[in-house]
Structures are given as C-alpha cells and as structure tokens.
Amino acid sequence: MMDHLANTEINSQRIAAVENCFGASGQPLALPGRVLLGEGILTKECRKKPKPRIFFLFNDILVYGSIVINKRKYNSQHIIPLEDLTLETLPDTLQMKNRWMIKTSKKSFVVSAASLTERKEWISHLEECIKHLLTKTGRQPCTEHAAPWIPDKATDICMRCTQTKFSTLTRRHHCRKCGFVVCADCSRQRFLMPRLSPKPLRVCNLCYRQLLADKKKEAEADRRQTEPIRSATQGYEPSSGDDSDKSDDEKAEQWPADTEFYTSEVSWSSFHS
C-alpha cells in the first residue's frame, strides 16, 4: 500500500498541507517515496506538565509539534527517523492513562492516547512501519536510547542528595544521562556525549563518575590493542633509502578510527484504510 501511494497526487497534497501548517518554521517533508499514513493528537509528558501535541506518521519518519490552531497552524516541529525509534508500553498512572514511551538515541519521552484502542492502533501502525523500514534497509533495531526526563512535579527534593528542597529560588535541573531531577550542587559537571549533543551537557555527580570510569576503560582497552603492534615493531629502524612510497604513507594517515483535548473525542485517524 505504501509503495502504491508514494507517487499519487493525493499523497503529495496531504504532505504539502502538513508543510503549510508548520510554515517557515518547519522543515520540508516531501521526499520521493515518502507516504503520509496518518495523524492524531497525543498528550506528551513534558517537563512542567502534560501537553497536547500533533503527531504525523510517515512511512519513514514520525513528526510532531505544538498546536497553535488545530488543522491550521503548528510550530516547534520535531522529526524522528523510524529507524531510530523503539516503543515501550507503560502502566497507567493516576494522572495519565494509555501511556507508552517513544525512545530514540537523542531523546526519549512518554505519550498517552485518549483511549486504549487508540494506543493499540498507534503502536500497531508504528511497529509495522518500523519493521518494514528495517527490513528494507537491512539495519538492526536501535539499542542505545536517551533517558527520559522525570517531570519536575514528580519530586520536591533532589533525587541524588535527597536533602535539597526545590523552591522558587532553588531550581530543578535534569541530568542528561539518567534524566533525574537534581539540584545545582549535584549537577555541576558537564560531559561530552556526542550521541546527544556536540557540546558538553549537564550531568549529575554520580553519572559523571560513571562516565569518567567508562571513558577510562575505553582508553585502557584501546591501549591494550595497540601494545602488540608497538612491541612487534620495536627494533626496526626506518628505511633511509629513496624508494619510500609517500603516497601510501599519506593514505595510511587518512584511515579513520493539559488534558482538555480528551473531551474533543480526537482519535487516531488514518488517511487510508
């Protein structure tokens, strides 16, 4: 069905309508072979409080954003490649039901649907698209995921020292490694995690020590791998002749190492049955 719809006029019109709703703030979404399969509103558990978000499922990406005017204007566009996406069903809480987690290597977060049926349909569609895409590309499912941030209201004290109480003057911070809510004193360190960001990110003291230890282990493993090579070449003198192949040397050096929307009865809608 996806291959059949890829080059149809109706598919192009629907993708163009989504692009138009995001306006200049969004990225272009039309690509050869890309199909818009469905859309719907889900509640996303954000740092401050749950908020409604619009989601669009394509055959290769999941797009979501903030709702300014439903069906007319959206902003804060986010694009998640389905190859990088893993799903995990979660139990209900007093505040939110029909929950599941969307996990990726750069960001993980919890969403909830208006009904159990809607959640099942979302997960079914997502899993089918992910399976189809991985089969097509030959890639393996992603195994490394970013930790979801624990909501601010989940705790009134630092989750590391368990002593500092948060207030209007004492800010909450989040460790980018474990997602815990921590105080400033427990998260003064920064660590470079290229998978998440090109810049060093705030981490709690415990995660900082663990990251340092892991880095040290990796350096030690690299050193052990290079030791046999070094010992095997000891005692040899570099050639002093004129027959050295400079081009081969150069090549070797280049080798790389709110929940009001529930009352609106909005449910999963698919363009194609």
Number of domains, the chain: 2
Can you tell me the mean pLDDT for 13-24? 95
Q: What is the CATH number of the domain that holds 123?
A: 2.30.29.30
Question: Residue 46: inside a domain, yes or no?
Answer: yes
- State which of 89, 122, 145 marks the end of a domain: 145
Range of the domain at 75: 3-145
Question: Residue 65: inside a domain, yes or no?
Answer: yes
Same domain, 60 and 192: no
Same domain, 27 and 76: yes
Same domain, 141 and 8: yes
- State which of 128, 145, 162 marks the end of a domain: 145
Same domain, 77 and 195: no
Q: Check: CB of residue 268 under 8 Å from CB of residue 121.
A: yes
23 in the Ramachandran plot: left (φ > 0), alpha (ψ -120 to 50) or beta?
A: left
Q: Which residue has the higher pLDDT, 77 or 224?
A: 77
- State which of 97, 122, 145 marks the end of a domain: 145
Write down how long the chain is: 273
Same domain, 130 and 157: no
Question: Residue 182: inside a domain, yes or no?
Answer: yes
pLDDT above 70 (res 271): no
Question: Residue 100: inside a domain, yes or no?
Answer: yes
| Per-residue tokens: 261 | 């929307």
Q: Which residue has the higher pLDDT, 69 or 249?
A: 69
Give the pLDDT confidence of 185-240 residue by residue, as tens digits: 999 999 999 888 889 999 999 999 999 999 999 888 888 887 765 555 555 454 44
Same domain, 88 and 171: no
Q: What's residue 233's pLDDT?
A: 52
Give the pLDDT confidence of 106-139 residue by residue, as tens digits: 899 999 999 999 999 999 999 999 999 999 888 8
Same domain, 130 and 195: no
Q: Which residue has the higher pLDDT, 6 or 180?
A: 180
